[in-house]
Chains A and B, each alone.
Chain A
Amino acid sequence: MTVVLSGSEVAKRITARLPDAVVEANDQAIVVESKSLFEVARYLKESPKFSFDFLNYIAAVDYYDYFEIVYQLTSTGYNHSLVIKTRCYDRENPALPSVVELWRGADFQEREAYDLMGIRFEGHPDLRRIALWEGFEGHPLRRDFL
């Protein structure tokens, strides 16, 4: 059975390494600054203590005030998992660093979030719509889409 790591415990280690990265943390998840997301992700993947070599999914949530992007990570070696989140306050032009470089599985997931939520992932090698066709107006999973 996969062990779910406590977010606040992991956050302490992240803060020791990257002081301004963590916004808040509880037992379930860690919320990190969007500009330091890539650094946090790289640390979690490459540090031998965590070695999160597998990205389960990327989810995007629309909370009206901000978009929240959720990443669930798993280490196949240690068999533990962790959820990290980040927030995008710019509704007109939300942008985040891409993690495709770290986990190839993020490719289609980020394209889906771009297609349906309109979040741009900077550094994605091929950011196109994936479910809808090119030329579709708007991003249908946003709460204000109608």
Chain B
Amino acid sequence: MEVRVPADYIYSALDLDRKEGAAVEELKARSQQPIPDRDRWLETELERNVLLTSVDAILNWARRSSLWPAICFPACCAFEFIATNASRFDLSRFGMEILRASPRQADLMITAGTLTWKMAPQVKRVYEQMGEPKWVIAMGACGISGGIFRSSYNVVPGYNRIVPVDVYIPGCPPRPEALIHGIRMLRHKISRGHTEIVLPDLQTIRTRRPGAAKRKAR
């Protein structure tokens, strides 16, 4: 079948198709082998290494590298926290961009805002529902001491009346840089922590084994 082409075209449709076909064939001919992995040298390098470290170092590294904050944002400091979490300050650099709606999946409470006595039981409950190990950052003047509302009849003068606080960040509200500084201080604190590993007592395990008492009696 003859392809009819308008006279004012520079290239005929068939010419364009041929050009495209040539480009595809050329790329295909060049791409017969996979591009070598640029990090391939790492594999042989890793085989030669044995890393020795302590359990503390590994656990603390894991803990401080992905702190997941629980949602406890009663007032305006929350907006600085949101700014910290968003693209400009990018909290995910610290592995902590996920805000857990469930305290059971969180290990850090950033108390961003004024706390009233009526709200205090709920905050305490959220803290108690968080699994160990857990940390608390008191963010802002209200979190530290009640701030300008300290003498009010219904404001908790500082979160440390309700929950144990690890790091205090002053400011009203603190800028995101200050919050990040506080988080880095907390990471520093975590990295110097010591984990006590309690191994089970072998003697107790032996006597508790089913049938052990019977054998003894015999």
Contact = CB atoms under 8 A, between A and B. Distances in A.
Contacts of A132: 118, 154
Nearest to A145: B153
A131 interface: yes
Contacts of A131: 118, 154
B89 interface: no
Nearest to A146: B153
B121 to A, nearest CB: 9
- Tell me which of B117, B118, B153, B154 has the highest count of chain A C-beta atoms within 10 A of its own C-beta: B153
Interface string A121-146: 00000000001110000001000010
A133 B153 contact: no
A116 to B, nearest CB: 10
Nearest to B154: A132
Nearest to A140: B153
Nearest to B121: A133
Contacts of A133: 117-118
Contacts of A140: 153-154
Contacts of B117: 133
A99 B117 CA distance: 31
A82 to B, nearest CB: 34
B117 to A, nearest CB: 7
Interface in B92-127: 117-118
A145 B153 CA distance: 10
A131 B119 CA distance: 11
Interface in B145-180: 153-154
B127 to A, nearest CB: 20
A46 B97 CA distance: 56
Contacts of B154: 131-132, 140
A141 to B, nearest CB: 10
Contacts of B153: 140, 145
Nearest to B151: A146
Contacts of B118: 131-133
B118 to A, nearest CB: 5
A131 B118 CA distance: 8
A128 to B, nearest CB: 13
B119 to A, nearest CB: 10
A106 to B, nearest CB: 23
Nearest to A138: B153
A140 B118 CA distance: 15
A80 B118 CA distance: 39
Contacts of A145: 153
A14 B99 CA distance: 58
B123 to A, nearest CB: 15
B74 to A, nearest CB: 14
Nearest to B117: A133
A129 to B, nearest CB: 10
A123 B118 CA distance: 27
Interface string B118-142: 1000000000000000000000000
9 contacts: A131-B118, A131-B154, A132-B118, A132-B154, A133-B117, A133-B118, A140-B153, A140-B154, A145-B153
Interface of A: 131-133, 140, 145
List the 8 closest A-B pairs by CB distance, nearest first: A140-B153, A133-B118, A132-B154, A132-B118, A133-B117, A140-B154, A131-B118, A145-B153
Given A133-B117, A140-B153, 7 more contacts: A131-B118, A131-B154, A132-B118, A132-B154, A133-B118, A140-B154, A145-B153
